[in-house]
Chain A
Amino acid sequence: MSGKEENALGDYIVPVLTAAVFICGLVKKTDIFGEFTSGAMEGLQTTADIVPPLILLVTAVGMFRASGLPDFLSELMSPLLSAVGFPAECLPLAIIRPVSGSGAAAVFESILRENHPDSFAGRVASVISGSTETTFYTVAVYYGSLKIKNSRHTLAASLSGDITGFLVSAIAVRLFMY
């Protein structure tokens, strides 16, 4: 797995994609500089928007971690979690992920800080962060925009996908990285 000489697939995707976008921009005579900077400005705005909720959530999660309660809960849940091969450290992430994006970022960061990103728990947390969405928020926004209250089986279907994602993330990390 380690050693700089062999390149993983992921090492190619990002530079190749970046180059492809710029080439397309040149061919299509897009105003690359103008579009890039206005897009980047939007990114700056997004970052500014997430700072206040992030401060609240990172602090709450930090207090929670410092109290030692997560360790206690993980211990309590560990027989069940180890039965399905899911790392106990990632349980808080699985709980918050469908509810809040900035909350999930806070929990994800604390998992990476406590465990190395290349550890099993760190990798599972990374895969969860990369492969799931803020389900409740999306459903609320999509139906809320039309003032629809009854979303039928939308949440049930989405959450069954989320739970599948959590369980499969641990399997996928084992499959592809160990």
Chain B
Amino acid sequence: MVGKFAGVLILASVIYSLISGNISDVSSAVLNEPVNAVELAVYLCGGMCFWSGLMRVAEKSGITEVIAGLLKKPLKALFVDIDTEGRAFRCICMNVSANLLGLGNAATPLGLEAMKALSEESEGELPSDNMVIFTVLNTASLTLIPTTAASLRLKYGAERPFDIMPAVIFTTAASLTVSLIAAKAGCAIGRHRKKHERKRGKCLG
């Protein structure tokens, strides 16, 4: 996917620059941009290490569990008939709290564990409603502190790298609401259809 994307970009830029006559700019981009990429990685490295370290301390100090406890009620409302004592729900709470703290490395294994537990609770080949809702939740950015965006803003001279936070939280809330409503609506339609089919099946039988 990524390779194709890069290929399309490169092909399009070479063809367009041949037409527009920008080929010398493109040529210098080929020489300079790899250096920029390494520079970018070096720049991000410090912040990435600091936050990973800090959040690891948070995780080991039990902060993740405290947040997971706080999340129990709102998350229970989100899912359909979920067993709050079960393994799946515990993993879901931990996954969401790791996401909130920006612990991507910890969130993914917990999320996969939750998916496995959810699939064991469900029947049939298709993913259950709860699996859909949970995956949609993970495709939304739940991170409270946009550290990577802030460190890049700082690099390019933003006066206050974190001043985007209210806007980030507002935007996250809006996109999360829409995607969850869409997920829920899709589940409701699916249930309705199933019921309909069963009824029809009875009539025919």
Contact = CB atoms under 8 A, between A and B. Distances in A.
B165 A161 contact: no
Interface in B48-85: 48-63
A106 B55 CA distance: 25
A43 B105 CA distance: 9
A143 B13 contact: no
Interface stretch (B26-34, B86-94, B197-205): B26-34
A128 B153 CA distance: 13
B29 A132 contact: no
Given A66-B22, A72-B16, A131 B175 contact: yes
B174 A47 contact: no
Contacts of A173: 164, 167
B52 A130 contact: no
A157 B136 contact: yes
Contacts of B179: 157-158, 160-162, 164
Contact of B6 (A56, A153, A156): A56
The DSSP consensus for interface residues of chain B is: helix
A93 B123 CA distance: 39
Interface of B: 1-3, 5-7, 9-10, 12-14, 16-17, 20, 22, 25-26, 28-30, 32-34, 36-38, 40-41, 44-45, 48-63, 105, 108, 111-112, 115-116, 119, 125-127, 132, 134-136, 138-141, 143, 145-146, 148-150, 152-153, 155-172, 174-180, 182-183, 186-187, 190
5 contacts: A60-B7, A139-B139, A158-B136, A161-B180, A164-B174
Interface of A: 1-2, 8-11, 13-14, 17-18, 21-22, 24-25, 27-28, 30-32, 35-44, 46-47, 50-51, 53-69, 72, 96, 99-100, 102-103, 105-106, 108-109, 112-113, 116-118, 122-123, 126-133, 135-136, 138-139, 141-143, 145-146, 148, 150-154, 156-158, 160-162, 164-165, 168-169, 172-173, 175-177
